[in-house]
Amino acid sequence: MTLLLTNKDVRGLLDMPTLIEAMRRAFQELGRGDAAAVGRV
């Protein structure tokens, strides 16, 4: 089963400071080689 979320749905789930912190950590892991960036399909 597929769950489709609209932009409005997502905006209601997370606040901007939380998203920015998650992106900061993700880019740090990527920079250290601890993560992989998989292209969109």
Tell me the C-alpha distance between 31 and 36, whole Å. Answer: 10
Please give the pLDDT value at position 14: 86
pLDDT attached to residue 30:
93
Residues of the chain with pLDDT under 50: none
pLDDT of residue 11: 84
Q: Where are the beta strands (DSSP E) in 1-41?
A: none
Rounded to two decimals, what is the model's pTM? 0.59
* pLDDT for position 22: 95
